[in-house]
Chain A
């Protein structure tokens, strides 16, 4: 019979097993260990691969934690990879191997796993990465298709809840020789930002006040009720209202080309840069398809990521929104860019600043013109 004592002994033994290096290195390829950074930033990377395929090592640690999601202090029991919503973006090149260490610390309450839309087989890795609190696992998959791809937690029976609780991110698989336009001309970016959109479903009490819970488990029942109605209480970028505005606004300079990767792991969205465009947009996010040009708004399907390149031509503040403007303005899906540089009067000029409406010269003449 399994007693508590044997269970404890087992846990101790498991810790020792985990500590021991167990990876048989069957691939004779160079390895590169990457330190991930929290969005909207992306870890340093080459846009054109310098040499042949590598094994790219990443580590994600699951963090279950309470987060504040708006300026009213509304709290949510979040589940995250590495503590951020969305999870960090990974960048590799086509033909590289992604080797992920997934850690579920003992302090967590729930099993988790990971499904990479960029991976082939095994439910994207979900079937091979189920880790209980106190366990870790290592998954390796080959990045066979270039593009930006969502990854997310997918535990049996609770997938949507884990996803809308924050467990999703993006991996970018770049072509080895870099990005190209439809004519095969190389495309390059000076900066990259990762915007992850979250649709959140926070339960309310009978007085319409947002409820708080002590653990994800306690929030489960009520949250599912809200989720099943399909109307989010918050639609935000990077985990909270205002995560990418004001002091946290993204920055750029006139003349710089910025890559904006936008993901939504659950629900459709339509990014739009107010005052700018998408010069080159991979709406579906997959680089073997030629990028669309000169878009005003692009569509990112739920469960996918899209990528847009834009060269800023004018300084000032730009709003980057989900152009369902109710979601942008009322539910939170707004980010800002602050852009430095010289104003270009050719592109736009304020010919007459706003002022009083001048009196009409002769209304009689106007009337004649109109009736002729």
Chain B
């Protein structure tokens, strides 16, 4: 019940926020970081598939698809704060990670996918509502105009070296965030769906695994390897991170600008829909069998 009310409130906030965000540049919201969910109704959106794509063993651009989530999405309006995470640590649900600032309104940074997942589990346990990281598709949908299309230039597939250098140039020319240190919640404004600090200087973990695909001559896409030790991280650009990394750095031979900080926001499953859906599926199966 409470959640439903919160959702309604969030919807109202979102509805108010979107026209504002489109007309005015808000460098910083001054409101305290209330724990709000933004509810987003499913609608079509363009989605550049995540992962690695190749044809005949040579890299090709990831396909761009029109997508629609299976149901509406309840996602945190802002990122999880350091103070919130600290409560999970105090309760023994999350590993302790020192922060430069533990202020109420600072986003939690320096977290690995494992830490973020531990926090989601703890939230699920303590609230009784399913909390989880968004999938990459869900994040892109929620990020709307802030999501970047990372289709890297792939000079003719016949020349993998040109493609390699083109990718290097594209990664090297990415803009570095103006400030690297985490900023208070709201410092990077709202996107058109009302979410705060999307694609600011804190990248967000998603639950999507790194997947390698083969594009067949017919255009059909086939998954050739799924590596869930590496997850998609989202922000000003999409990145792939090993799940235990807390401090991203481009290191070694990589040219790209690494995510400045790693944080996260959670999706909260709305009411008991997953169970309902499963029940519906069971009933449907029974019906099919009895036909």
Q: Interface residues, chain A, CB within 8 Å of chain B? A: 1-2, 6-11, 13-14, 17, 109-111, 123, 126-127, 132-135, 154-159, 217-218, 220-221
Contact = CB atoms under 8 A, between A and B. Distances in A.
B102 interface: no
Interface stretch (B24-32, B206-214, B269-277): B206-214
Contacts of B49: 2
B250 interface: yes
Interface residues on B, range: 20 to 34
Contacts of B227: 111, 132-134
A13 B223 contact: yes
Contacts, number: 89
A14 B212 CA distance: 10
Contacts of A156: 250-254
Given A110-B242, A157-B252, A158-B242, A2 B211 contact: yes
A157 B223 contact: no
B42 interface: no
B244 interface: yes
A202 B223 CA distance: 38
Nearest to B252: A159
A132 B244 contact: no
B204 to A, nearest CB: 18
A110 B210 CA distance: 12
Contacts of B222: 10, 13
A79 B198 CA distance: 37
B15 interface: no
Majority secondary structure, A binding face? helix
A360 to B, nearest CB: 68
Contacts of B177: none
Contacts of B225: 10-11, 14, 132, 134-135
B226 A7 contact: yes
B71 interface: no
B45 interface: no
B38 to A, nearest CB: 21
Interface in B237-272: 242-246, 248-254, 258
A109 to B, nearest CB: 5
Interface in B106-145: 114, 137
A7 B211 contact: yes
Most B-side CB within 10 Å, residue of A10, A11, A111 = A10
Contact of B250 (A157, A217, A220): A157
A217 B211 contact: no
Contacts of B208: 2
B164 A221 contact: no
Contacts of A6: 223
A10 B227 CA distance: 12
